[in-house]
């Protein structure tokens, strides 16, 4: 998240928090500027100006709604006008065939759009970047062609005229300004929804999923669920605006209602203003649309293609020069100016809720694998591994590189499905095998990654909050918990630094912090000491002991023999996917097989072992 | 032959190496040992031009090469055999090895060198027409080293050649490295398997947390108590 | 039965056309790893250029094929050098926006210069009916079929036997290792993008006698080209060729048996299904650009 939006989120304290948000300078400045969208046309007495502002509101709304999927979730949908068209046609047809007022019809359209969005999103979200975009383009084209084909229903290419019944009930006015009021209202709705998402858990989750899906899963987030929520909201909002715009333009045809060019424009405004920010899409629209409309007005038909050419060129130039858009590039500076206005002082930090108590008998089984096998093609990465994890212990896993330690971790945290054998998380008398990585996390199994996976653009505290959100959906509580964890691991002094600016030692600790914030019962640590100085390693060892003393059971993969020997109650040695030794650290290190496999025959001879 | 001075480098805003200085003389065998993530690979990548250093200098044969393009550096005879082999998986072993002499400076006499290299690696000769991706880890490592040798290296850098290999193969690997050294090639060996590396090196550096922590002869470091605890697990 | 064979024949002819266009797209994605949303506009540029050469200089499209191919090579190389190269390290969505923006700009540029009218090039030699055992094809279509085979064969030889071809394949398989071999990867990318565009250039000259040229002709073909490429496996030239044949036949058959205006729905549906269920394509990561 850019600094702009981070501090733009007024920290919600206790219950009456939302209203105190109005006193924050960013909020009242924004509202004041927004009201200009109504004031300027009202003062101008020109229908043309009103038309331009209606267009601005409509496209800003569309762009803001699109941004929820394209910016927040990072899935570049280039077929979003599908929902616009569905909203438009549904509303128009409901008036035509059932005499249903558009005020209700638009919600029917929104519901239909949401359903379509889920049907498309669910299978397509797993597609990477450009392939997702291609799929959305394909869907848009299919819908457009079907709309033309079924011309009996939709009027086909000849078009459909909206029934023109004047009055508020039918959304047809002679006084153009009334259209602007509705358009403005819809824009306000999209902005509020967008802002609300951004500053709630869903917004953080979307950012996490967008940056690193695996790390997000490890924090208990289901990427598909989160993206589906985003797309439902986005589709519904887009559809509502489509319904309104149909009533405004009064003429519907598939080419304009399901237009790929418009889909691209809407995305473009968001990019120009700042992808993934609340006000970016609005800014982009406000900047570009008036120029285009004016050009169209002055140059008329001789400008055929000119405004499209300008759009395309601007888009290419923006990607080359200002990929963060206006807000991304200038937002931090402008935000600081605004914060100097009255009301911009930071709020006091709230108190953290109590730590979840971990109950259970020491020594009882917490995790059990039976005959675990993992095959990759012809390679057997895990060969019949059976192990038991007992509550309250620190279990060390050692072995040569490539032996299959991380593969084992992946299977006991849900990132890999074993080829055969079972993994069970034991809670009291119940044994469960969670179905996905995020399910494992929610079941209390937290893990770190060997190659750290920080959410680079989020600050340290926000990174930790992603973990805290699993048990504390409220932003304020999550933040409080995150603050406590940051102190525990020694990152409190850098809590507002963006993660991508941290050195490797701090990133390792951040990884552990984020996992700790999910309040796990089992903690899987994958080479957390690697690459750290002696001093840092010692601190990490103390931290792990403190974590165990608070009731968490730990499994650690390590190469640092000194550390693992001093920490572990028990050690398992893995070589070529098999467990070759297990037991007390001192005994394991003297085991012949371990020496041969890991430490080296020559080395053993040299040491006289 | 190679002189690295006060080198600082990293990825994006993360600094990995800080003020690293090492020297390698012609014909020497030098090793750098260190733990995972200590910066060994980053150092090699900086020397071969894959990573641009933010400060410091790298001199090869008296000429500054910090910031030069990888192609330029390869042309001077400074060759790296990267970590985890990095072969071209869907090309034959023959094509892989021949890619080693792609650079204009290495094309001359390539046929003869091909024969020489296959002498050292008879297993590679057996598998010339197989796809590189289908070979075992040890065989792939040999292809990677063979590929490196094809480039007429004046200084050959090996990044963890024993990574992920079974102990017996590891013995073989170090045997081959010794043979290459005996042929007169200057070698910079970066390794995690401290024991083996220190045995065959004349001089050694220890890298910790992006800095050079120690420097000594191979034998000297083998006897050092700190090294024994941290890297040999005693 | 007769109808079916004729339809299959039509399908193969269509397929060979899609093949030449799709092979270029595959080259660009397989090597530079960029989805070139502006690929259709390359075709459009080539077609307008062919039209201009035909009307101003009287050149037959098949003669223009040579300079047009070279022209498009330059266009592709320039796009790579000045746009894509700067964005290679950027987020994927920035790359998408860049090529989408380029596509929009080019379409509208054509609109401004030529207007929305359809232009045709009269090349009667390309529209001769040729009888193949009782079934009819156009001479121009046979030329395209021959060129499609020649193109794939030529590229195969280039990739397998020449040092540059090996370097290109190496870069596609492992960029870092290629750098360590002394391969100038930036240059390889420029050449590859140019090569991909050149294929489309060839296609454009061959296709102009058979199709009218208009600003949106590119998007008409490119969506189908994407379907072909995804079907064939994004990085395989041979997969693209096979995919093109399949789509050509599907196009031809569904146009007749279902409805002419729904045939695109049929192959977009196939496209979506492949993306969802077998994104590596029917022929997987085959050989070709690798």
Q: What's the DSSP call for residue A419? A: S
Least confident range of A325-334, B162-171, B200-209, C50-59: B162-171
Average pLDDT over residues C260-264: 82
* Whether complex ipTM tops 0.95: no
- B91 CA to chain C: closest CA distance, Å? 8
pLDDT value for A498: 86
C167 interfacial to chain B (CB closer than 8 Å): yes
Residues of B in contact with A534 (CB under 8 A): 208
Q: What is the pLDDT of residue C272?
A: 85
pLDDT for residue C288 is more than 50: no
Region A103-120: mean pLDDT is 94
CATH number of the domain within which A587 lies: 3.40.50.300
pLDDT of residue C199: 94
Please tell me the distance from the alpha carbon of residue A83 to that of residue A78, in angstroms, as a whole number: 11
Q: What is the DSSP annotation of A121-148? A: HHHHTTS-HHHHHHHHHHHHHHHHHHHH
Best probe of the C interface among A124, A304, A309, A314, by most C CBs < 10 A, is: A309
> Nearest-CA residue of chain C relative to A276?
C93
The reply to whether C174 touches chain B by the CB within 8 Å rule is yes
**Per-residue model confidence (pLDDT) at position A12:** 37
Cβ neighbours of A533 in B, within 8 Å: 208-209
Could you tell me the residue range of the domain that residue A463 belongs to?
365-606
C176 vs B86, B91, B100: nearest CB: B86
Distances from the Cα of A466 to the Cαs of A225, A518, B204, in angstroms? 16, 8, 44
User: CB–CB of C92 and A130 under 8 A?
Assistant: yes
- Which residues of chain A have a CB within 8 Å of the CB of C219? 260
- Taking an 8 Å cut-off on Cβ atoms, the answer to whether C93 and A128 are in contact is no
Look at A315 and C100 and tell me if their CB atoms are within 8 Å.
yes
pLDDT value of residue C99: 93
- Give residue B234's pLDDT band: very low, low, confident or very high (50, 70, 90): very low
- Say yes or no: B13 contacts chain A, CB-CB below 8 A: yes
Q: What pLDDT does C76 receive?
A: 95
Contact status of B232 with chain A (Cβ, < 8 Å): yes
In this predicted structure, the answer to whether residue C70 has a pLDDT above a threshold of 90 is yes
Contact C93 A146 (CB under 8 A): no
Q: Mean pLDDT over residues B94-108, rounded?
A: 85
A15 falls in which pLDDT band (50, 70, 90)? very low
CB contact under 8 A, C166 and B98: yes
Average pLDDT over residues A181-210: 93
Q: Do B233 and A501 touch (CB under 8 A)?
A: no
Q: What digits encode the pLDDT tens for the residues A554-565?
A: 999 987 777 888
CB-based contact, A315 to chain C, within 8 Å: yes
Closest CA relative to residue B209, chosen from B37, B91, B69? B37
Strands C129-132 and B211-217: unpaired
Which residues in A lie closer than 8 A to residue C111 (C-beta atoms)? 304-305, 308-309
Alpha-carbon span A189 to C223, nearest angstrom: 35
Asked if the structure places residue A424 within a domain, the reply is: yes
Mean pLDDT of A410-432: 87
Residue C38 is predicted with a pLDDT of 93
Q: CB B86 to CB C180 under 8 A?
A: yes
Give which of B50, B85, B90, B94 to mutate to test C binding, by max C Cβ within 10 Å.
B90
pLDDT of residue A10: 39
| Pair (A379, A244) in one structural domain | no
Q: What is the pLDDT of residues A476-498, one digit of tens each?
A: 889 999 998 998 888 888 888 88
Chains in contact with B, where contact means 3 or more Cβ–Cβ distances below 8 Å, are: A, C
Q: Quote the pLDDT of residue A44.
A: 82
Helices A475-489 and A504-516: crossing angle in degrees, nearest 10, is 130
Lowest mean pLDDT across A453-467, B33-47, C2-16: B33-47
pLDDT for the residue C77 = 95
Whether residue A318 is contained in a domain is answered as: no
Report angle CA A205, A220, A463 to the nearest 5 degrees: 50
Contacts of B200 in chain A (CB under 8 A): none
Largest CA distance in chain C: 58
- A contacts of C261 (beta carbons < 8 Å): 145, 148-149
Cβ contact C102–A131 (<8 Å): no
Task: Answer whether C53's CB lies under 8 Å from C65's CB.
Answer: no
CB A185 within 8 A of CB A56: no
Q: What six digits make up the tokens of A567? A: 């920490």
For C12, the enclosing helix (H) or strand (E) is helix C2-27
A74 touching chain C per CB within 8 A:
yes
- The pLDDT-based confidence of A235 (bands split at 50, 70, 90) is very high
Instruction: State the Cα–Cα distance between residues A525 and A465, nearest whole angstrom.
Output: 19
Contact A244, A58 (CB under 8 A): yes
**Rounded CA gap, A448 and C87, in Å?**
31
> pLDDT tens digit string along C100-112?
999 999 999 998 8
Assess if residue A433 is contained within a domain.
yes
Q: How far apart are the first and last CA of chain A?
A: 55
Q: Which residues of B touch C175 (CB under 8 A)?
A: none
Of chain C residues 66-85, which have a CB less than 8 A from chain A? Answer: 83
**Cβ <8 Å between B195 and A559:** no
Residue A593 has pLDDT above 50, yes or no: yes
Which of these three, A238, A261, A284, is where a domain ends?
Answer: A261
Span B80-100, average pLDDT:
88
**How many domains does one find in chain A?**
2
Mean pLDDT of B9-25: 83
Kindly state the DSSP code that residue A557 receives in the 8-state scheme: E
Q: How far is Cα C48 from Cα C54, in angstroms, rounded to an integer? A: 10
In a domain, residue A470? The reply is yes
For residues C198 and C24, is the Cβ–Cβ distance under 8 A? Answer: yes
Q: Measured between alpha carbons, how far is A390 from A362 in angstroms, rounded to an integer? A: 7
> With contacts defined as CB-CB under 8 Å, which chain B residues touch A500?
12-14
Contact yes or no for A309 and C105 at CB 8 A: yes
Whether the CB of C89 is below 8 Å from some CB of chain B: the reply is no
Tell me the domains of chain B and their CATH numbers: 2-232 (3.40.50.300)
A36 pLDDT band, cuts 50/70/90, is confident
Name subunits touching A (3+ CB pairs < 8 A): B, C
For residue A385, tell me if it sits in a domain.
yes
**DSSP three-state, residue A579:** strand
Instruction: Give the pLDDT band of residue B139 (cuts 50, 70, 90).
Output: confident
Q: Which residues of A touch B14 (CB under 8 A)?
A: 500-504, 507
Say how far apart CA A529 and CA C138 lie, in whole Å: 71
**Any CB–CB contact under 8 A between B208 and chain A?**
yes
| Residues of B whose CB is below 8 A from A400 | 164, 167
Are A581 and A464 in the same domain? yes
Domain closes at, from A261, A281, A312: A261
Residues of B in contact with C176 (CB under 8 A): 50, 82, 86
Q: Provide, as residue numbers in chain B, all residues whose Cβ is less than 8 Å from the Cβ of C183.
A: 71, 102
CB contact under 8 Å between A606 and B13, yes or no, is no
Average pLDDT over residues C128-142: 83
Q: Is residue A37 part of a domain?
A: yes
Q: List subunits contacting chain C, requiring 3 or more Cβ pairs under 8 Å.
A: A, B
Strand intervals (E) in chain C: 129-132, 135-138
Among the partner-chain residues A530, A562, A599, the one whose CB lies closest to the CB of B36 is A530
CA atoms within 13 A on the CB side of A349: 11
Domain match, A249 and A369 both: no
Residue-level pLDDT at A3: 37
Interface of C with A in 28-47 (CB under 8 A): 35, 37
Residue A324 within a domain: no
Q: Does residue A373 share a domain with residue A244? A: no
Identify whether A357 is part of a domain: no
Q: How confident is the model at residue A605 (pLDDT cuts 50, 70, 90)?
A: low
Cα distances (angstroms) measured from residue C136 to each of A270, C6, C131, C253: 51, 7, 5, 16
**What DSSP letter does each residue of chain B carry, written as one string?**
-EEEEEEEEEETTEEEEEEEEEEE-TT-EEEEE--TTSSHHHHHHHHTTSS--SEEEEEETTEE-TT--HHHHHHTTEEEE-TT----TTSBHHHHHHHTT-SGGG-TTHHHHHHHHHHH-HHHHHTTTSBGGGS-HHHHHHHHHHHHHTT--SEEEEE-TTTT--HHHHHHHHHHHHHHHHTT-EEEEEES-HHHHHHH-SEEEEEETTEEEEEEEHHHHHH-HHHHHHHH--
What does the CA dihedral C190, C195, C198, C203 come to, rounded to 10 degrees?
-140
A474 touches chain B (CB under 8 A): no
Are A455 and A6 within 8 A, CB to CB? Answer: no
Instruction: pLDDT band for C289, please (50, 70, 90 cuts).
Output: very low
- Asked if residues A214 and A466 have their Cβ atoms less than 8 Å apart, the reply is no
**Best of A559, A585, A591, A608 to mutate (most B CBs within 10 Å, chain B):** A559
Last residue of a domain, one of A261, A289, A317: A261
* Closest-CA distance of chain A to residue C40, Å: 14
Tell me which of A70-79, A244-253, A400-409 is least confident. Answer: A400-409
Average pLDDT for chain A: 85
* Residue of B74, B102, B131, B147 to mutate when probing chain C, most C C-beta within 10 A: B102
Residue range B161-180: mean pLDDT, rounded: 79
**Mean pLDDT of all residues in B203-221:** 84
User: Are B196 and A532 in contact (CB < 8 Å)?
Assistant: no
The most confident of the ranges A127-131, A238-242, C86-90 is A238-242
The first and second tokens of residue A397, run together, are: 């896993």
What is the share, in percent, of chain B residues with pLDDT greater than 90? 12
The structure tokens listed for A358 are 């971990």
Q: How far is B54 from A49, CA to CA, in rounded Å?
A: 54
Q: Give the pLDDT of residue C287.
A: 41
Q: What is the CA radius of gyration of chain C?
A: 19
Cβ-defined contact of B16 to A504 (cutoff 8 Å)? yes
Establish if C8 touches chain A: CB-CB under 8 angstroms.
Answer: no
Please give the residue of chain A at the shortest CA–CA distance from C277.
A123
Closest partner residue to A599 among B35, B137, B233, by Cβ? Answer: B233
Pairwise CA distance, residues A346 & C219, whole Å: 52
Q: Other C-beta atoms within 10 Å of A495: how many?
A: 16
The predicted model gives A371-382 an average pLDDT of 84
Q: What integer is the mean pLDDT of C127-149?
A: 86
Q: How far apart are CA C89 and CA C94, in angstroms?
A: 10
Q: How far is B228 from chain C, CA to nearest CA, in Å? A: 34
């Amino acid at each position: 998240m850019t600094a702009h939006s981070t501090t733009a989120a007024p920290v919600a304290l206790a219950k009456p928090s939302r209203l105190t948000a109005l006193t924050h300078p960013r909020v009242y400045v924004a509202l004041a500027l927004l009201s200009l969208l109504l004031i300027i046309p009202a003062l101008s007495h020109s229908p043309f100006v009103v038309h331009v502002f209606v267009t601005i509101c409509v496209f800003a709304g569309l762009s803001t709604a699109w941004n929820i999927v394209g910016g927040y979730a990072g899935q570049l949908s280039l077929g979003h006008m599908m929902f616009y068209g569905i909203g438009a046609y549904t509303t128009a047809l409901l008036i035509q065939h059932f005499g249903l007022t558009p005020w209700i019809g638009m919600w029917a359209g929104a519901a239909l759009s949401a359903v379509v969005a889920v049907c498309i999103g669910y299978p397509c979200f797993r597609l990477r970047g450009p392939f997702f975009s291609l799929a959305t383009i394909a869907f848009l084209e299919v819908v457009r062609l079907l709309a033309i084909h079924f011309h009996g229903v939709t009027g086909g290419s000849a078009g459909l005229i909206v029934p023109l019944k004047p009055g508020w009930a039918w959304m047809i006015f002679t006084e153009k300004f009334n259209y602007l009021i509705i358009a403005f209202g819809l824009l306000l709705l999209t902005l509020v929804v967008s802002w609300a998402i951004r500053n709630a858990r869903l917004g953080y989750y979307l950012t996490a999923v967008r940056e690193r899906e695996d790390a997000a899963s490890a924090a208990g987030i289901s990427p598909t669920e989160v993206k589906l929520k985003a797309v439902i909201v986005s589709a519904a909002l887009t559809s509502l605006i489509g319904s309104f715009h149909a009533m405004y333009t009064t003429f519907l045809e598939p080419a304009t209602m399901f237009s790929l060019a418009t889909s691209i424009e809407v995305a473009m405004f968001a990019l120009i203003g700042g992808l993934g920010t609340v006000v970016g899409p609005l800014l982009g629209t406000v900047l570009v649309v008036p120029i285009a409309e004016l050009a169209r007005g002055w140059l008329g038909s001789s400008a055929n293609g000119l405004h499209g050419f300008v759009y395309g060129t601007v888009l290419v130039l923006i990607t080359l020069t200002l990929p963060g858009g206006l807000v991304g590039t200038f937002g931090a500076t402008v935000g600081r100016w605004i914060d100097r206005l009255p009301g911009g002082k930071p709020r006091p930090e709230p108190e953290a809720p109590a730590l979840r108590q971990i109950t259970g008998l020491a020594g009882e089984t917490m995790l059990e694998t039976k005959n675990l096998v993992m095959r990759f093609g012809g390679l057997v990465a895990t060969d019949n591994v059976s192990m038991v994890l007992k509550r309250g212990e620190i279990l060390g896993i050692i072995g040569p590189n490539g032996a299959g330690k991380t593969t084992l971790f992946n299977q006991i945290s849900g990132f890999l499905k074993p080829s055969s054998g079972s993994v069970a998380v034991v809670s009291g008398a119940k044994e469960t095998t969670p179905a996905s990585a995020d399910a494992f996390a929610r079941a209390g199994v937290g893990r770190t990654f060997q190659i750290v996976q920080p959410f680079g653009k989020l600050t340290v505290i926000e990174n930790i909050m992603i973990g805290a959100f699993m048990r504390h959906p409220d932003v304020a509580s999550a933040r409080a918990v995150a603050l406590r964890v940051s102190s525990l691991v020694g990152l409190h002094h850098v809590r507002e630094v963006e993660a991508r600016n941290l050195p490797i030692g701090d990133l390792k600790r951040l990884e552990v912090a984020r996992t700790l914030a999910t309040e796990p019962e089992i903690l899987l640590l994958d080479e957390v000491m690697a690459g750290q100085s002696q001093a840092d390693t010692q601190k990490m060892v103390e931290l792990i002991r403190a974590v165990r003393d608070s009731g968490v059971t730990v499994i650690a993969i390590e190469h640092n023999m000194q550390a693992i020997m001093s920490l572990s109650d028990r050690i398992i040695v893995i070589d070529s996917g098999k467990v070759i030794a297990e037991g007390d650290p001192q005994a394991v290190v003297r085991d012949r097989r371990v020496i041969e496999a890991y430490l080296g025959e020559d080395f053993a001879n040299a040491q006289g072992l | 032959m190679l002189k690295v001075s006060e080198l600082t480098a990293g990825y994006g805003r993360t600094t990995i190496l800080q003020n690293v200085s090492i020297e390698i003389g012609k014909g020497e065998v030098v090793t750098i040992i260190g733990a995972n993530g200590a910066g060994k690979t980053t150092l090699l990548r900086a020397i071969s031009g894959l990573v641009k250093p933010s400060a410091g200098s790298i001199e090869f044969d008296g000429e500054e090469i910090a910031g030069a393009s990888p192609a330029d550096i390869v042309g001077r005879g400074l060759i790296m055999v990267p970590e985890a082999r990095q072969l071209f998986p869907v090309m034959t072993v023959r094509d892989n090895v021949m890619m080693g002499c792609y650079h204009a400076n290495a094309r001359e006499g390539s046929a003869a060198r091909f024969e020489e290299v296959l002498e050292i690696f008879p297993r590679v000769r057996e598998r010339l027409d197989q796809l590189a991706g289908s070979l075992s880890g040890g065989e792939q490592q040999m292809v990677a080293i063979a590929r490196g040798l094809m480039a007429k290296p004046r200084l050959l850098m090996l990044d963890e050649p024993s990574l992920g290999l079974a102990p017996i193969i590891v013995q073989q690997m170090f045997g081959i490295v010794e043979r290459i050294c005996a042929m007169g090639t200057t070698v910079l060996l970066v390794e995690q398997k401290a024991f083996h590396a220190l045995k065959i090196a004349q001089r050694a550096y220890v890298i910790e947390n992006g800095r050079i922590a120690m420097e000594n002869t191979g034998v000297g470091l083998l006897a050092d108590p700190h090294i024994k605890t941290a890297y040999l697990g005693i | 039965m007769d109808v079916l064979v004729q339809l299959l024949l039509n399908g193969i002819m269509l397929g060979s056309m899609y093949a030449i266009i799709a092979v270029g797209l595959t080259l660009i994605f397989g090597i530079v790893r960029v989805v070139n949303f502006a690929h259709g506009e390359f075709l459009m540029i080539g077609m307008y250029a062919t039209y201009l050469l035909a009307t101003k200089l009287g050149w037959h499209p098949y003669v223009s094929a040579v300079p047009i191919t070279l022209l498009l090579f330059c266009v592709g190389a320039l796009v790579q050098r000045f746009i894509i190269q700067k964005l290679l390290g950027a987020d994927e969505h920035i790359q998408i926006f860049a090529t989408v923006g380029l596509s929009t700009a080019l379409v509208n540029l054509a609109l401004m210069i030529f207007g929305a009218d359809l232009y045709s090039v009269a090349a009667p030699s390309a529209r001769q009916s040729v009888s193949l055992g009782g079934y009819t094809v156009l001479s121009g279509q046979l030329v395209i079929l021959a060129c499609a085979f020649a193109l794939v064969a030529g590229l195969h030889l280039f990739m397998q036997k020449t040092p540059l071809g090996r370097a290109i394949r190496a870069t596609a398989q492992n960029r870092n290792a290629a750098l360590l071999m002394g391969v100038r990867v930036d240059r390889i990318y420029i050449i590859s993008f140019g090569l991909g565009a050149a294929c489309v250039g060839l296609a454009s000259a061959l296709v102009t006698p058979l199709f009218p040229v208009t600003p949106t002709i590119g998007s008409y073909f490119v969506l189908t080209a994407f379907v072909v490429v995804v079907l064939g496996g994004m990085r395989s030239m041979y997969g693209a060729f096979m995919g093109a044949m399949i789509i050509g036949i599907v196009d031809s058959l569904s146009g007749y048996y279902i409805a002419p205006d729904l045939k695109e729905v049929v192959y977009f549906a196939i496209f979506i299904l492949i993306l969802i269920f077998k994104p590596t394509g029917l022929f997987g990561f085959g050989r070709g650009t690798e």
